[in-house]
A and B are shown apart, each in its own frame.
Chain A
Amino acid sequence: MPCLSGKGYICLILSAKIQNSSGVLKNIGFSGDPMKAKKTLNMITQRAVEEGIAMEIGKTSRQYFDACSIIEMNEQDMKELGIMKNTNVRVKSESGEVVVKAVVGRQTCYPGLCHIRQGVWANQVVPPRTQSTGAPQYSGFPVTVEPVPNERLKTALELVQGAVGMWKGDQ
């Protein structure tokens, strides 16, 4: 895993954003390195009370799916990336990708910041690098977000069982 020192890393993200503020509005593809993408957002993942309630109801429940398969973004970023509210987007990071639904959310993010609630969907893209502390990079890692309105959201079970080769379709 690349180990980039903390503050310099953020500066890289910011500089990437400044360079790209001059024209290209839509993200056009992703070559595997988030740094090379047209617009990079800074992603964090934290708890939400809806997620907590749904988790106790059960991780295979509809409530958990609704609570956690969303990305909260700033409206300005959504406009720049050509994303309509409540449509599906693909989020890619250095360690994976996931399809989630884009919303503005009540707890707003400033432009450049996005948030997926703690849980199965967020952890498809959270980098496992820990800066030798044991705690993965749950907050503050670069992602690209592109509109994929026709792509399907996967269930928690499909994502996790799929990742370890155990998914056999809807059972």
Chain B
Amino acid sequence: MPKVIENVGCPYCGCSCDDVRITVSDDGKDILEVENVCAIGTEIFKHGCSKDRIRLPRMRQPDGSMKDISYEEAIDWTARHLLKAKKPLMYGFGSTNCEGQAAAARVMEIAGGMLDNCATICHGPSFLAIFDNGYPSCTLGEVKNRADVIVYWGSNPAHAHPRHMSRYSIFPRGFFTGKGQKKRTVIVIDPRFTDTANVADYHLQVKQGHDYELFNAFRMVIHGHGKDLPDEVAGIKKETILEVAEIMKNARFGTTFFGMGLTHTDGRNHNIDIAISLTRDLNKISKWTIMAMRGHYNIAGPGVVWSWTFGFPYCLDLTKQNHAHMNPGETSSVDMAMRDEVDMFINIGTDAAAHFPIPAVKQLKKHPWVTIDPSINMASEISDLHIPVCICGVDVGGIVYRMDNVPIQFRKVIEPPEGVMDDETLLNKIADRMEELKAKGEA
């Protein structure tokens, strides 16, 4: 009899939906059906039970081809190269459970290297603003049950977080929001007329890169200087700003969700900084919260795990081995790559070759490159060593942190391909091997 597993977590975006239903085959090896999951999540579960999964580590040969090797050889090669390197960098963790992230911290502490996660190219600037200005946030449950005004600023959940609007923000009927969408006002601020803007009550088509000015305009209105606004700010008419500010002021409970539209453009952390200031201003007259639209299902995880381990969420310099240090710009992956400062690169649970600007990829490729990932991707196809691992949420469980920093226990739904290790086991074996080599004096 096929078995139905309820309340499974989806390993795609920061929504970390945990209401997925999976039907698995008798032998526990195949996924027959997935329910309550978006189109992207469906593909992950489909890929998880694919017969084409890589089962053995692959080493690049002098002729450019890849040759299967054993896990033991791969672990030894990685351990030796990590010990040999002066400043190795391990980057990724968008698709890894917290157990793997903790094991990675152990590896890089022994190796004396740099440890960074995908936040460095996503919500890193948000972290900087949060350090400076605080984070008046809430959980997604509170949004569902209380929020009557929703702002999406520089984020497009219809595409990047497909179930965000239906599960948490616009459409669900919560405890104090029994009428769902009918009683909610949705404001989308985006330079493009996105599919999210299409379902909004107000779309403010801000001039790209001018968000800071628009935030400032809203703050002016909240502080009682609305009449002094110029006729237009950042492409938005004064009347529209006054109208939307009035809605914000009269909200019973408002939430601003912000995304890459703010962190990737000019101003970076300053855009988030002023967004937080606006939230604080609004809290004098109403109740407002703010939340980063984290991209991956557990990208909040490394921030939490490494903060309690080392005191910093990303851009960690562990080269001193007895204390950690963080200084984005100096210790951030792309900046280090551009200065050619790292002499070994481990890409884990991400694809730096596809998602870093290509000049940074060229610099990193000058040195040994290891990819730890279940799939064939751009990073695996240029790496010297590709080590396949289990897919968290599919064939290995673990703790993940949702975008609102709520931890969720993800489940294993099928058996992994025979012999394939999970991130935690693999990384701990690499750490053990490094300790062994150090004890023997071979490093």
Q: Name A residues whose Cβ lies closer than 8 Å to a Cβ of B.
A: 1, 5-7, 9-10, 42, 44-49, 52-53, 56-60, 95-96, 106-110, 113, 115, 118-120, 123-124, 126-128, 130-140, 156-157, 159-161, 163-164, 166, 168
Contacts and interface: CB of A to CB of B under 8 A. Distances in A.
22 contacts: A47-B159, A47-B295, A49-B158, A49-B159, A53-B40, A56-B40, A58-B47, A59-B351, A95-B358, A123-B354, A128-B338, A133-B124, A133-B269, A134-B333, A134-B335, A135-B122, A137-B264, A160-B381, A160-B382, A161-B381, A161-B382, A164-B361
A135 B264 contact: yes
A59 B360 contact: no
A120 B378 contact: yes
Contacts, number: 209
A134 B328 contact: yes
A89 B165 CA distance: 35
Interface in B96-143: 116, 120-122, 124-125, 128
Contact of A128 (B120, B353, B357): B357
Interface size class of B (residues with CB under 8 A): 35 or more
Given A10-B210, A135-B121, A140-B208, A109 B365 contact: no
B359 interface: yes
A49 B39 contact: yes
Given A130-B332, A133-B269, A124 B358 contact: yes
Contacts of B44: 56
Given A96-B359, A128-B338, A133 B159 contact: no
Contacts of A107: 156, 192-195
Nearest to A68: B354
Interface string B14-32: 0000000000000000000
A7 B191 CA distance: 16
A166 B265 contact: no
B329 interface: yes
Given A6-B212, A136-B121, 20 more contacts: A1-B338, A6-B267, A7-B209, A44-B261, A47-B156, A49-B162, A56-B47, A57-B43, A58-B375, A96-B358, A96-B359, A113-B208, A124-B358, A126-B357, A128-B360, A134-B120, A138-B260, A164-B362, A164-B382, A166-B382
B334 interface: yes
Contacts of A47: 156, 159-160, 260, 295
A167 to B, nearest CB: 10
A133 B209 contact: no
Contacts of B355: 118-119, 123
Contacts of B356: 123, 128, 136
A136 B334 contact: yes
A155 to B, nearest CB: 11
B268 A135 contact: yes
B263 interface: yes
Q: Is the interface of A mostly helix, strand, loop or mixed?
A: loop
Nearest to A164: B365
B39 to A, nearest CB: 5
B135 to A, nearest CB: 17
B8 interface: no
Nearest to B193: A108
A137 B268 CA distance: 9
B315 interface: yes
Contact of A160 (B38, B267, B353): B353
Interface in B183-219: 191-195, 205, 207-210, 212-213
B323 to A, nearest CB: 21
Contacts of A132: 328-329, 335
B170 to A, nearest CB: 17
Nearest to B261: A139
Interface in B32-73: 38-40, 43-44, 47, 64
Contacts of B47: 56-58
B12 interface: yes
Closest 4 CB pairs of A and B: A134-B332, A6-B266, A132-B329, A56-B43
Contacts of B120: 134-135
Nearest to A60: B376
Contacts of B268: 130-131, 133, 135
Interface string B422-436: 000000000000000
Interface string B337-375: 110000000000001011111111110010000000001
B377 interface: yes
B292 to A, nearest CB: 13
